Amino acid sequence: MSELGWPEGVSTNSAESRGALGEVLAMQVAAWLREALVERGVATLAVSGGSTPVPFFQALARQPLDWERVTVTLVDERWVPESHQASNARLLRAHLLKGAAAQANFTPLVTNAASPGEGQPEVQAQLAALPATLDVVILGMGTDGHTASLFPGTPGLEQALRPDCPSRCQAMSPPEALQERITLTRPVIDAARHRVLHIAGEDKLVTLEKALASPELILSMPIRAFLRSGLAVYWSA
Ligand SMILES: O=C(O)[C@H](O)[C@@H](O)[C@H](O)[C@H](O)COP(=O)(O)O
């Protein structure tokens, strides 16, 4: 992976398996969170959903931390109740917010509103109660080059990808997604102290190669907006 044409300042890390990658990433994220706790007394972590992060969540949940001073939130969410199979909050409850990590504070991205458009102001307020600079953001990526719920061809994508987008979150209705979504916007991700892209599989390397070939075309592959200096990429086959 390191032979891809990465922009200056992007670091790459790989492991023999997805489990080993999850362990390596969990140790690094725990170190960053401990550093935040020492420096500021609190720490914030925003994670993505999907299948890739599960070994990472399970390894992070085992990390010794003052979890009660850590706030965990999501990079994006499907607009479904936590009981729904597609809920990212449900995924976190099952694999991350358990054991010692069950003491962490969790900021969900879904409200009781009927749609993300109606719920957005309340989610915006909840996010505004968090530090403006999150300590750690973990991005995933689909093979279409989406990240978070920033999908190509979605109405409102240009707004959400503006470096100066005024909102911290935005409702999205990706044409091919099963559920309406809500996503963090680009400024929130850009401002994070530590930005990670966590991916697995050869197909994701092919996607990255395509993304790196035309970095300026962010609307067709939104991940392109985040492939820049300071990003830490974690990959395994
Ligand atoms: O809510 C989501 O689905 C994620 O935030 C999404 O952006 C995910 O990171 C990618 O779709 C990759 O998913 P996999 O890890 O399952 O390939």
Structure tokens at 156: 């409102």
Question: For residues 219 and 177, what is the distance between their CA atoms, to the nearest angstrom?
Answer: 17
pLDDT at 86: 98
Residues 82-112 have pLDDT tens digits of: 999 999 999 999 999 999 999 999 999 999 9
What is the Rg, in whole angstroms, of the alpha carbon atoms belonging to the chain? 16
What separation in Å is there between the alpha carbon of 40 and the centre of ligand 1? Answer: 30
Predicted confidence (pLDDT) at residue 41 exceeds the cutoff of 90 = yes
Q: Is the CB of 51 under 6 A from ligand 1?
A: yes
What separation in Å is there between the alpha carbon of 41 and the centre of ligand 1? Answer: 30
The dihedral region occupied by 201, where left means phi > 0, alpha psi between -120 and 50, and beta the remainder, is left
Output the residue whose Cα is nearest ligand 1's atom 4.
49
Biggest alpha carbon–alpha carbon distance for the chain: 46
Q: Is the CB of 199 under 6 A from ligand 1?
A: no
Residues 131-147 have pLDDT tens digits of: 999 999 999 999 999 99
Contact 233, 52 (CB under 8 A): no
Mean pLDDT of the chain: 98
pLDDT at 73: 99
The fold of the 7-236 domain, in CATH, is: Rossmann fold (3.40.50)
Over residues 62-77, mean pLDDT: 98
pLDDT at 95: 98
Q: Is the CB of 22 under 6 A from ligand 1?
A: no
Question: For residues 82 and 84, what is the distance between their CA atoms, to the nearest angstrom?
Answer: 5
Question: For residues 132 and 202, what is the distance between their CA atoms, to the nearest angstrom?
Answer: 35
Output the residue whose Cα is nearest ligand 1's atom 1.
49
pLDDT at 2: 82
Predicted confidence (pLDDT) at residue 224 exceeds the cutoff of 90 = yes
Over residues 194-201, mean pLDDT: 98
Report residue 122 CA to chain centroid gap: 20
Residues 150-186 have pLDDT tens digits of: 999 999 999 999 999 999 999 999 999 999 999 999 9
Report residue 92 CA to chain centroid gap: 12
The pLDDT confidence band at residue 62, using thresholds 50, 70 and 90, is very high
Q: Is the CB of 222 under 6 A from ligand 1?
A: no
Secondary-structure percent of the chain, ordered helix, strand, coil, rounded to 5: 35, 20, 45
Question: For residues 88 and 42, what is the distance between their CA atoms, to the nearest angstrom?
Answer: 23
pLDDT at 25: 98
The pLDDT confidence band at residue 3, using thresholds 50, 70 and 90, is confident
Predicted confidence (pLDDT) at residue 225 exceeds the cutoff of 90 = yes
Over residues 196-204, mean pLDDT: 98
